[in-house]
Structure 1
Amino acid sequence: MRKTISCMLTANAALLLAAVLPFQLAPGDVAPSRPPVPAGSAGSPGVPGAPDVLAAPPGRPESPGRPVSGRGHAAVRFPVLRPGAEGTIVLAVRRRLSRLGFDEGPPGLTYGPAMRAAVWAFQKANGLPPVDEVDGPTWRALAHPARIRPLVPSGGPTRVEIDLRRQLLTVWRNDRPELVTHISTGNGEHYCEKGHCGVAVTPTGDFRAWLRTPGWTSGPLGDQFYTVYFNGQIGFHGSEKVPRHPASHGCIRIPLHNARPIYDMIQPGDPVYVRRPGPADERPKSRRT
C-alpha cells in the first residue's frame, strides 16, 4: 500500500523546493518541518503538495499541475494549490504575494480566504482570469510578474486608483504601488432596500477622501468595516462578501483583511481616482525579477 505523503515538507524537501521555485526565497521563507497530516485532511493527496511533485518515485504519474522553469533548472511540475492546502509551499507563495504588494492576510501555512482574494488580485493584475487555484500560468506570473501600471501617472505620490474593469484597487505611496487588492463595485442594477432606492453605480471621476469611520458601522444598505468616503456616501470599506463580480450598491467592497491597512494609509484630502480603462490601457507589461 502506498505510503501517505504529507503536504508538510521535510527539511530536505524544503531545501529542494527552495532550489527549484521559479522565484527566489529570502532567508526564513522555508518554514520548519511539521508532523505528517492524516489521510483525508487538507494536507492529504486530495490537495496536491510539493512532495508529490518533487519526490515522486520513478514511473509514478505526475500530480496535477503545469511545468514551470526555475532559474538554472529543468522544467519542474509544480502542484495546483487550492483553498485548504497547507505546507511550506503555501507559505512561500503567500510571502511572494506579500512582497509584490498583494496582502495575503494573517501569516500561516494554510491557503485560506484572505490568500484566495490575494491570488485573485494578483491574477487580474497579470492579465489572468481570477480562479481559486495557483495553477501553471499563476506560477509563471509569480516568477515574472507584470509591472503595476498607474491609471493616473501624475495623480500624486499618495493616492488610490480604482479600476472598475478589472475590479482592482491600488494604493500608491511615494509613487509606488503599496497594496493591490481585489474589490467588488456597483453592479449597475436598480435596487430598493429599507426605503432607499437607486441604481447601483460606482461613478468614474477624480475625488478626494473626506470622511473616515473606524471599525464596524451599520447603514441602510449593510454593514461596513473601516470605511473611507470619497464621493458623497460612496466609499471603500471592508466587507464579508467580496465576490469576483460587481455586486455592491455603489461602494467599493474590500476583503476584510485589507480594510484596516488601507484605512491607515489614506488620509482626508488624498486623491481617489476611479477609472474604467479599455483593454489596451490595462494590458500588463511583464518584467523579470
Structure 2
Amino acid sequence: MKRTGLALVALGAVPATASAQTPPAPAPVPATATLSVTAQDTLGGAALTGRSFTARVVMKPYVPNETAVLRVYRGKKKIRVKTLAFKPVNGGAAGVATLKVKSAKAGRLSLRASHRATPALATAVAKTVRLDAVRPYAARGSRGAAVRILQSRLAAMKYVVPRTGVYDSGTANAVMAWRKMTGMARTYTATSDVFSGLLAGKGKFKVRHPGDGRHVEARISKQVFALIDGGKVQRIYHTSTGAPATPTVRGKFRVYRKDPGTNAKGMVDSVYFIRGYAIHGYVSVPPYNASHGCLRVPIPNAREIYNWLQLGNVVWVEE
C-alpha cells in the first residue's frame, strides 16, 4: 500500500502539500532615499584655512540605523572620510548628521555624500557641494575669494566698502574703520584676526540716539562715525577728527549749511554742523585725530555723505 500511495502522488492523483505549491514571498523593495549636503558656518560661502566649518547632511526619509559616508576632497586629494549616523527631525520625516571640517591649506573643497543600498533603503548620492578654502589674509593689491569674502562681510555690517574683489583704498579704509571699532591695531591689512572677528560678528556700531531719526553719531575715541536712520545703522566711515591742539567740539548739533565742491582750504563737499566745523572730504585722513576740528573723510566718500545729510539733521559728537 505504501508503494501504491507514492505512485499515486507521483501521478498527481493525490494533491501535494500546500508548502510545495506556494512560491516564496518576494523580498521587500528598499525605500527610495534622497541625500543633500550644505556647508554652514562659512564666511561669504567660503571656508578659512585652519578654521572649522560644518558639513550638514540630510537624508529623507529617516530610517533607524541607516548611515551615509561623507568624503571631503581638496582638489583631487581626499582629506576626510567619515561614516555618519542620522538623528531624526520633523517627526522622523528626515534624518540629519553633521561633521566639523577643516582644511589646513587653501584650495577648492568638494563635499560628497553617499548611501549604499541596504534592504531598507535604496542607494542615494547627494549633489556635490563645492567651496573655496582661502587663506585669511588680504592687503592692498590682493584679489580673489578672500577679498570678496572680506568685502561681503564688511558690507553686511554696514561698513562702506567697494564690492570689486580687489583690495583697493576703499577696502583698506573699511578695514581700518572696523579695526578701530574693535580696538585692534590701526593698520590697513586684513589679517586672520580680522577674518575671524568678522565671522564672530565683532565690530558692530551700537546706536546711542535712536530717537533722533536721520542723524550722525561720531565716536571720537574710535575715530569713526555712522549715518543712522532711527535705530538702524546705514553706513560706517573711517574718519579723522580734531588734533589735540584743535579738538573737535563735543555735543549735539544740527546741519545748518552744505557747501558742494572743493573750497580754498581743500575741504570737499562740506556739511557744517556748528560754526566752521564740518564733515568733509580731505586728501589726508590718517588713522588718528589730525584735523583742525572737522570730521575728515576720504574724498570718495564725501559726496554720498553730502547727499545723504539734510539741513536740520542731528549730528552727535561724543567720546
Normalising by structure 1, what TM-score?
Answer: 0.65
AA partner of residue 285 (structure 2): V
Tell me what 2:200 maps to.
Answer: 144
* Superposed displacement of residue 217, structure 1: 2.2
Give yes or no for contact 1:102–1:118 (8 Å, CA) kept in 2.
Answer: yes
Write the deviation string for residues 68-117 of structure 1: whole angstroms up to 9, x where unpaired: 34344434563321111122321221122122111113x42221111101
1:246 to 2:289 alignment: yes
Q: Of residues 131, 137, 140 in structure 2, which corresponds to 1:80? A: 137
* Superposed displacement of residue 19, structure 1: 5.3
1:204 to 2:250 alignment: yes
Cα 1:206–1:90 shift into 2, 3 Å = same
Q: Which has the larger radius of gyration?
A: 2
* Superposed displacement of residue 21, structure 1: 7.5
Count residues with an aligned counterpart: 207
1:233 to 2:289 alignment: no
Q: Distance in 2 between matches of 1:79 and 1:20?
A: 17
Tell me what 2:107 maps to.
Answer: none
Match of 1:22, SS state, is coil
Tell me what 1:111 maps to.
Answer: 167
What percent of counterpart residues are identical?
26
Give yes or no for contact 2:207–2:232 (8 Å, CA) kept in 1.
Answer: no
Give yes or no for contact 1:22–1:68 (8 Å, CA) kept in 2.
Answer: no
AA partner of residue 250 (structure 2): T
Q: Distance in 1 between matches of 2:168 and 2:273?
A: 31
* Superposed displacement of residue 246, structure 1: 0.8
Write the deviation string for residues 212-271 of structure 1: whole angstroms up to 9, x where unpaired: 1122222xxx20111110011101111121111111111110112221221111101000
Q: Any gaps of 5 or more consecutive residues in structure 1?
A: 1-17, 31-49, 55-66, 190-199, 277-289
Give yes or no for contact 2:252–2:316 (8 Å, CA) kept in 1.
Answer: yes
Tell me what 1:271 maps to.
Answer: 314
Cα 1:161–1:250 shift into 2, 3 Å = same
Match of 2:174, SS state, is helix
Q: Distance in 2 between matches of 1:227 and 1:253?
A: 10
Q: RCO higher in 1 or 2 (8 Å CA, sep ≥ 6)?
A: 1
Matches within 5 A, 1:1-289: 22-25=42-45, 67-72=50-55, 73-76=100-103, 78-105=135-162, 107-146=163-202, 147-154=204-211, 156-189=212-245, 200-218=246-264, 222-276=265-319
Give yes or no for contact 1:22–1:139 (8 Å, CA) kept in 2.
Answer: no
Q: Distance in 1 between matches of 2:189 and 2:41?
A: 17
AA partner of residue 205 (structure 1): G
Cα 1:69–1:213 shift into 2, 3 Å = farther
Cα 1:233–1:118 shift into 2, 3 Å = same
Q: Distance in 1 between matches of 2:138 and 2:151?
A: 12
Q: Distance in 1 between matches of 2:166 and 2:294?
A: 30
Tell me what 1:193 maps to.
Answer: none
Q: Distance in 2 between matches of 1:97 and 1:223?
A: 29
Normalising by structure 2, what TM-score?
Answer: 0.59
Q: Distance in 2 between matches of 1:76 and 1:133?
A: 23
Cα 1:22–1:133 shift into 2, 3 Å = farther
Cα 1:135–1:214 shift into 2, 3 Å = same
Give yes or no for contact 1:20–1:76 (8 Å, CA) kept in 2.
Answer: no
CA RMSD of aligned residues (A): 2.4
Most deviating of 257-266 and 73-82:
73-82
Write the deviation string for residues 4-60 of structure 1: whole angstroms up to 9, x where unpaired: xxxxxxxxxxxxxx95873244xxxx9xxxxxxxxxxxxxxxxxxx9xx86xxxxxx
Q: Distance in 2 between matches of 1:71 and 1:274?
A: 43
Q: Any gaps of 5 or more consecutive residues in structure 2?
A: 1-37, 56-99, 105-134
Write the deviation string for residues 188-229 of structure 1: whole angstroms up to 9, x where unpaired: 22xxxxxxxxxx1101011001111122222xxx20111110
